[in-house]
Every structure is written in C-alpha cells, then in structure tokens.
Structure 1
Amino acid sequence: HMSHPASTIMITTALAMKVGLAPMHFWMPPVLQGLDLTTGLIMATWQKLAPFALLIQMAPTMHPTLLTTLGLLSTIIGGWGGLNQTQLRKMLAYSSIAHLGWMIIVIQFMPQLTILTLSIYIIMTSAAFLTFKLLLSTKINTLALTWSKAPIMTTTTALILLSLGGLPPLTGFMPKWLILQELTKQNLPLTATILALSALLSLYFYLRLCYA
C-alpha cells in the first residue's frame, strides 16, 4: 500500500539509487568512466526514463522533505564532484547527478517541469556524448587538441557544454529558470538560492572545459 510512509520512503530511496541521486550516487561516475561513449550515452539518458516514470506517478504520495534533501544534495555533490575531474565521462556523470537533483526537487510541485527538464537534459547529454564520440575525446587534454582539426565541431561542443551548465540564453538555462520560479512561488526561497548557487559550480567546470 503506497500511502504508508515507510514503503514510500523505501521505494523513493531505491529509485533514487537507480537513477544515481546523491547520496546513493557513488556507483555512477566509476561505471560511466568504465563504459565506452555509446554505452555511456544509453546509461546517462535512456536508463533514466523508467525510474522517472515511476517517480512522477508516485510524486503526490512522496515525502516532500526527502525529495528536497535528495535534490539539494545531488545538485551540490554533482557540482562539487565535477570540479577536479579531467575525465570527460566522469564530468558528465557528475553533471547528470546535478541535473537529476533539479528534476527531483520540482517533481512534487510541477511534474510537467520535471518532464521538460528531463527531455532537455536527454537531448543535451546525447549531443555531448555524440560530439565527444566524433572528436574521439575522453579527456580534457584530448579535447584541447581538437580545435585545430575540427574548429566548427569544437565550437559546437563548447556551446553544448555551456548549455548543460545552464548559461543564458542557451537551452539549458530555461528549465532551471522555470524551476527557480516555481520554487519561489511555492515559498521556498532558500532552496531556490542553494540550487542557483550550486548551478554555478557546474557552470564553472564547463567554462573550464571550454577554455581547455
């Protein structure tokens, strides 16, 4: 019976572990690092659909504090973890954790926003993985060498990464802005502030990638 708090918390935690939300995220960066870019792409995008379908259906019965805690932890750890990475796949794994944090926070107030954010996240992450595959780069230093060989492709990669970081006026900024608006409407200014500040961490490591 799903209305019982214990069963709801257990299922939420299990699904959070499956999608890779903090603090159950430890498996995700090393697993993504160990996979090739094509399998990594499936892991970072397609594999999120089924758990999120369940999470969206269960959102009304879930514990709001648990969802907010999972979301805030994920955005902070996702931003913090990516800072010292030189491996592109690990960086995308931490970026994924941060994005999932944004989605899980707003799921209790406006599931449509979660679906929008998930769709945009899947498109941007797919684009990032595919460009890395085309440029044959898995480390920051190999990405730096591609500029002379494929300038247009490298510029596209930079724009995709900045969009993932949520830099206005790029696509990735829109869902974050809408989520912050929704949280402010729900009278959660502190949560919105922490989320916005944690987004700066992600943006920093993407900017660093673009300057590499």
Structure 2
Amino acid sequence: MNPYVLSTFMFSLGLGTFMTFISSNWILAWMGLEINTLAIIPLMAQPHHPRAVESATKYFMTQAAGAAIIMFSSLTNAWTTGVWDISNLTNPIANTMFMMALALKIGLAPTHFWLPEVLQGLDLTTGLILSTWQKLAPFALLIQTAHNIDPVLLTFLGTVSTIVGGWGGLNQTQLRKIMAYSSIAHMGWMIVIVQFSPKIALISLTIYIILTSSMFMILKTLMIKKLDSMSIIWSSNPILATMTALVLLSLAGLPPLTGFMPKWLILQEMAKQEMLIIAMIMALATLISLFFYLRLCYVIMLTIKPDVNNKPSMWRCKQTKMPLPVLLMITTATLLLPATPTVMILFT
C-alpha cells in the first residue's frame, strides 16, 4: 500500500476514535464510530486475498448493523427525552438496544460469532489493531453510559462471555482464533465490573491491550499462525520461547504475572458488591481458559514438530532477533504486578 494512503487511513482511524472520546452528543459519537470502521476496512482487504476480503466484508456488515442499532437507540432516547446527550440515556428500550449494539461491536457473547471468523482471515498486524484499538471507542461509550444500563444485562453478558471465551478456545488450532476467544473472555470481565468501578474496568482494558499486543508482536516476529508451528520456537530461540510461555500464562491471569492484576481487582470488587456466585462462576470459567493457554505452553516447551532429517535442523539456524518494542511489551506484560498500587493511583 502506498505510504501516503496508509498514513491517511491510520490518521482516519485515530481521528474516529478521538472523536468518540471527546463527544458528548450522540451524532458526533456515531460519526466517530463510522469513520473508525471505514478506515480499517481497506487495511483489512489490503492483502488482496479472498479470505481477507471475506473478513473485511463480514466486519463491515457487522459494524454497520451495530452502528445502525446505536443510531436507532439514540433516536428513540431523543424522542422520549428531547436531548441528544450521551449521559442522558434514560429510556429502558434505548438502553437495551444500545448495550446489545456495543456487545455486537466489541464481540461479546452471544453476539460474538463474527469475531473469530473475521480475525482468522486477517494478517497479524491488522488483527492486532482489531483486537486492541478497535475496542477503545465502543468502550469509551460504555463507560459514559454504564450507570444507565440495566445491571442484570451487563452481568449476564459478562458472565456468558467469560464462559464462551473459555469453551470456544479449547479445540482451536489457529492462533488467531484462540486470540479471538481470549478477547471475548477478557471483555466479559470488563463488562461485569464497569457498572461498579469504571476505574478497574479501564485498568483491565489497559492490561488486556498490553498482553494482547505482546502476543501478536511475538507471533509477528516469529511469523507463525498455527498451533503446530509453535513447536519450533524452542529449537530456534529458547529465550523467546520462555517469554512466549510467560505471556500466555499472564493472559491466563496466573500470579505473579501482570495478568493477575485485573482479575484480582475485579474479584475483590465483586466480593465487596456481594456478587459471590457470579465471581465464583467467572473464576471457574477462567480455569477453562487456562487449559488452552497451558496447551500452548506445552506445545512450545515440551514438543518438537514432526519432521524429516534431510534438511538443516532448526537449532542450527540463525536465531530470530527480538525488536526493542517487543522486549518492552513482554516485560510490561509479565512484571507489572508489583506496581499495582501505582497503577491504581494513576487511574484515579
């Protein structure tokens, strides 16, 4: 792609998200979401592969449906209240429609079916943008309106997403689909807690972006997309294999890694709100997710890809060099847990 065209699309991507961030009016927020969606469609279809074009088409249809529902819910709310302010979303029907539209946009269960299929057809760079940057604008709207949305609906969507995210990733062999189900599970944790503590939800979103970016950068560095390809990491680069396993365990939320921080804070807040049963269900659903993360670690550390002996062995090849951004993201994704008090102060 021409660098000037690519710069235009990336600028539009940032502009749409920024417009949604600063908007207090439904029309401006909707325009930001549309600019954001239209800017990423050419980036998705850029490889000119039929699978990429299919993913771009599916993403466009899904996001267009979500944007239409958001516009209809804002019109319904403005019809009954007479104002277009985002913070004044008081109509119950508009609340429900808006929350389901946001669930469709960010891939919450039970409206998650498009996310694994779309992410599977994209290259790793565009998949990283879809899994991280594209969550920001809808999540900003959710934080502004969470106090008006039915808590039962938020709890239901969050709990179902954590369960579906765990079960869906069990039998996957494509790494991008595994990351898609990981995204669904992590979003469920954020949706449950946003009604009680938006600060913890923001911390969870930040940690999720760091962990997901680290994993996609590792996959991009190694140029691997399938589960069986991960077995060659240990023989070609033992240090990066160890770091990859630590990032996967951090995604699972195991202490003393960074990924334990949001789950710890969320479970603590849910205990304060006397939601012990929901907290227990979500913690047990995390054990299901832990299984396929450990499965990836097993493939990396304890297996060797079946191969013939008539070509050079992987350990004789030149090791893959890790760029500085990858090292910084891996370090943050694994060693940030002791800084939890500082993080809480920064998000106050």
TM-score (norm 1): 0.99
Given the alignment of the two structures, is residue 163 of structure 1 paired with residue 250 of structure 2, yes or no? yes
User: Which aligned pairs between 1:171-186 and structure 2 lie closer than 5 A?
Assistant: 171-186=258-273
Partner of 1:72: 159
Given the alignment of the two structures, is residue 126 of structure 1 paired with residue 213 of structure 2, yes or no? yes
Paired residue type of 1:100: M
Partner of 2:114: 27
CA distance in 2, matches of 1:115, 1:191: 20
CA distance in 2, matches of 1:166, 1:205: 13
SS in 2 for 1:137: coil
CA distance in 2, matches of 1:137, 1:147: 13
Paired residue type of 1:86: T
SS in 2 for 1:83: coil
Partner of 1:62: 149
How far the C-alpha of 1:147 sits from its partner, in A, is 0.9
Partner of 1:14: 101
How far the C-alpha of 1:121 sits from its partner, in A, is 0.2
CA distance in 1, matches of 2:204, 2:137: 15
How far the C-alpha of 1:154 sits from its partner, in A, is 1.2
Q: Structure 1: which 4+ aligned runs deviate by more than 2 Å?
A: none
RMSD: 0.5
Aligned-residue identity in percent: 62
Partner of 1:205: 292
CA distance in 2, matches of 1:59, 1:21: 15
Partner of 1:86: 173
Partner of 1:143: 230
Equivalent residue for 2:241, pick from 144, 154, 171? 154
How far the C-alpha of 1:205 sits from its partner, in A, is 0.5
How far the C-alpha of 1:175 sits from its partner, in A, is 0.5
CA distance in 1, matches of 2:136, 2:247: 21
TM-score (norm 2): 0.61
Q: Which has the higher contact order (CA 8 A, sep 6+)?
A: 1
Paired residue type of 1:47: Q
Q: Which has the larger radius of gyration?
A: 2
User: Which aligned pairs between 1:78-117 and structure 2 lie closer than 5 A?
Assistant: 78-117=165-204
Tell me, which stretches of 5 or more residues in structure 2 are unaligned?
1-76, 78-88, 300-348
How far the C-alpha of 1:136 sits from its partner, in A, is 1.1
Tell me, which stretches of 5 or more residues in structure 1 are unaligned?
none
Count of matched residue pairs: 212
Cα-to-partner distance string for 1:34-60 (whole Å, 9 max, x where unaligned): 000000000000000000000000000
